[in-house]
Structure 1
């Protein structure tokens, strides 16, 4: 199969490829053309359907990336140029690529693609497929939720044992805090209540502790996975299971435990502005001949052993480095026993199925700080005053805590991640052997799109003798006109609607 290597050369400024329609100067007759009129002109173009087919890959994107240049086909052995395709021959003289943003609040279309990839990634680790053997469905697996401890009372939704809503924080007598705020709340908050997640007293809340916890959450998770693995290995040793002699890639023979722990996790930002983790944790066996093989674990180890290991690991903790505000450092742990962990076995016949777990994790993989009411890109000293205020709203105080604590040289990363309320980790991670990767899923989608569209550079011999090189430079970002955005997004919405209808009809027929 022909290799596909894309080299993007960043430009010094936004360049206009052939066919670019320059933006009218202020005062010119076309300076204030509305999106309806620009959409009308585009729709009246005889080549409109070619243009819609050309931008199909990025049609629903809110802020596509535009590239110009050429795509060359080379002979791998000699380097001889076999052919080339210039973007000047394409509509608008540019290639449109989706921005690929994960956040639904930034680009709903790209977030949907990311969400579907996340669903396939998580589900493949539970049910097989995408190169993962179907036998993983019989591996012991649990679904766990790890939450942070409390940094102060906040408005929340509560239910009784029958699922009926009850008051947020009912108390018979007034309970004033040191700042004179009554710490009672008799409201039954609705889902869209803006006070959800906000502290009852902003001045009593531990903002420093919360942003430091967010910043330290990836390290706490790393230590948790180590503790789970060690507990499982100790259990295997207690059961007398024989260790495996495994040959490494260098030819060295080493003695390893007969079981491994694989996981996939998603970080979700709660309304109070602190992350918590949803994780699928699975037990795998060890193949002495293939270290990367995914095989069932020893029969003596079951889901109860995995639940015990996860429950034990939820008690781990560590102390951060010192800070002038906290000379002894902050102690980072999961929530209080019985509150910081919820772990349930994954059962194909029960309430926690592989499809439900994959859908749940994929849904939260596209969420971010918008649940707190704050959405911004990376902050710097020029704009920080627009978002940080030590006497302002709950998100503003969290950002201010990040910026203030990040002034110390050992804590500068807090300023880097102030727009994420201190959290600098990935929102979806997995262990190496758990499942496929996003790159494999994306590459398969790119190949399918190029084959479907019939691009000249996709019609290459099925061998390793050719090399496809994209000599592309950055030409701009976003749609050229609001009319183009209107037409492209409308076309994408209609295509999605037809796709959903077809899926529903196929499901009903099955």
Structure 2
């Protein structure tokens, strides 16, 4: 089923739409822009031109020349210039993964992440179907405690328990009783906030965020060594097995980073990256035990700082959750695991209540405050510890991320496909839908001379039309998926 971007019907008057229905006031103000667009380039040609970036909140505008040449002879096969196109530019989606910046691009990233992760468990996209039989575990690595915070707790029966119920609650040196009998809701603003701001070790938390990536690297090394010892004890060649992983970083409400990881056991042939089944003697329970021991046994001390000459201890928190991934059915299926990781791949610090871009000397004062709230103190700790000219400067560079400067999604090279491959496949599908000839010889080379012209839609009317058309196209695709699912289910039953 083919979907297309459809232009909105021309308005009957300046205050009503076709059929006599009144247009909302906020949209009525955009009617002049919509009419101007129809009179200048026309709706259909313009919507077809911006289709690739139609749902983007702030597309990148590029201008210049697009040339197709024969890579062997250098002969120019075709040449176009953006000057002859609507608006004199081409629109490219911003491509951000952060949902609060652009929901549409973040949703595309999330879908790609889901398929990238899931194919490493079920096969497809270059991964053999036999991977479904490989042992796999889902692991959550948490940060240690830096002070008591408000939390949503549950009893063994699943009921919400009091936050910090204490009969003999202590009173901290700052006069705060370290107890809370409230049963917090899921969206309670107190969640993640320290019981006492002055007792909380904000400096230790931002340092831990800054070194979390190094802690993960050392944990992986320890895990690989433990696997080699286990394989040798089982009479196997240690080089015949490998652990592959995909990892996503997530901010807790308190602003500490933690990692969710899928870890899969593969067989290995030296000099070959093929995904082959591992020896049956090693199962998911064995991998889970190795991961638990590696997490508990990995720690190190940071280099010294003027405020802490002996450095900070960096290690995982006590809450390490390891669960076996079950194919198709069970408490944690491959779909659940992939969806969970893909969901958090599009987030950053939003759950903490802080959203900003990289901070500078001119902007940091709006966010950092040593006597402010929890997030303000974390940002201040990043800025004060990250003195210029030293190895701690990275804390200041990543102050807007509360000290964490790592990637939010990383994976082993042979886990599955890549984001680049998924983007290329989507571009090829789009060209096919638009009727563009994709049967070009392998020697064809695209030489584009494009320069940055700006970012965002020219007018609010353009944004409304493009995003509305993209929303309708998404609805059509969803209907098509549901129809295909119903056909498949009826053929089965």
Question: What TM-score, normalized to structure 2?
Answer: 0.90
1:386 paired residue number = 366
1:480 paired residue number = 458
Aligned length: 458
Give the alignment partner of residue 276 of structure 2, picking from 288, 291, 295: 295
TM alignment of 1:429-448, pairs within 5 A: 429-448=410-429
Give the alignment partner of residue 346 of structure 1, picking from 325, 330, 334: 325
2:10 paired residue number = none
Q: Does 1:452 align with 2:433?
A: yes
**How far is 1:173 from its partner?**
4.1
Q: Secondary structure at the match of 1:495?
A: helix
1:30 paired residue number = none
Q: Secondary structure at the match of 1:130?
A: coil
Q: Secondary structure at the match of 1:284?
A: strand
TM alignment of 1:144-293, pairs within 5 A: 144-242=139-237, 257-288=239-270, 291-293=272-274
TM alignment of 1:66-77, pairs within 5 A: 66-77=61-72
Q: Does 1:401 align with 2:396?
A: no
> Is the Cα–Cα contact under 8 Å of residues 431 and 438 in structure 2 kept in the other structure?
no
Q: Distance in 1 between matches of 2:438 and 2:77?
A: 11
CA displacement 1:254-273 (0-9 Å, x = unmatched): xxx11011000100111100
Q: Distance in 2 between matches of 1:281 and 1:274?
A: 22
> Is the Cα–Cα contact under 8 Å of residues 232 and 305 in structure 1 kept in the other structure?
no
**How far is 1:309 from its partner?**
1.1
Q: Which has the higher contact order (CA 8 A, sep 6+)?
A: 1
Q: Does 1:331 align with 2:313?
A: yes
Q: Secondary structure at the match of 2:276?
A: coil
Give the alignment partner of residue 50 of structure 1, picking from 40, 45, 70: 45
**How far is 1:504 from its partner?**
2.5
CA displacement 1:426-476 (0-9 Å, x = unmatched): 000001111111111111112222232245xxx365322221111111111
Q: Secondary structure at the match of 1:281?
A: strand
Q: Distance in 1 between matches of 2:438 and 2:231?
A: 52
Q: Does 1:464 align with 2:442?
A: yes
Unaligned runs of 5+ in 1: 1-32, 244-256
Q: Distance in 1 between matches of 2:210 and 2:291?
A: 22
CA displacement 1:136-194 (0-9 Å, x = unmatched): 11001100000011111111101111111121111224532110112211111112211
Question: What TM-score, normalized to structure 1?
Answer: 0.87
2:16 paired residue number = none
2:335 paired residue number = 355
1:9 paired residue number = none
Q: Distance in 2 between matches of 1:327 and 1:295?
A: 49
Q: Does 1:108 align with 2:103?
A: yes
Give the alignment partner of residue 374 of structure 1, picking from 341, 344, 354: 354
> Is the Cα–Cα contact under 8 Å of residues 40 and 483 in structure 1 kept in the other structure?
no
1:63 paired residue number = 58
Quick check: 50-59 or 354-363, which moved more? 50-59
Cα 1:129–1:44 shift into 2, 3 Å: same
Cα 1:507–1:451 shift into 2, 3 Å: closer
CA displacement 1:390-410 (0-9 Å, x = unmatched): 111111111100000001512
Q: Distance in 2 between matches of 1:208 and 1:329?
A: 11
**How far is 1:43 from its partner?**
4.6
2:19 paired residue number = none
Q: Does 1:311 align with 2:305?
A: no
Q: Distance in 2 between matches of 1:221 and 1:383?
A: 32
**How far is 1:285 from its partner?**
0.7
Q: Secondary structure at the match of 1:300?
A: coil
> Is the Cα–Cα contact under 8 Å of residues 432 and 438 in structure 2 kept in the other structure?
no
Cα 1:36–1:400 shift into 2, 3 Å: farther
Unaligned runs of 5+ in 2: 1-27
TM alignment of 1:69-108, pairs within 5 A: 69-108=64-103
Q: Does 1:420 align with 2:433?
A: no
Q: Distance in 2 between matches of 1:91 and 1:450?
A: 19
**How far is 1:311 from its partner?**
0.8
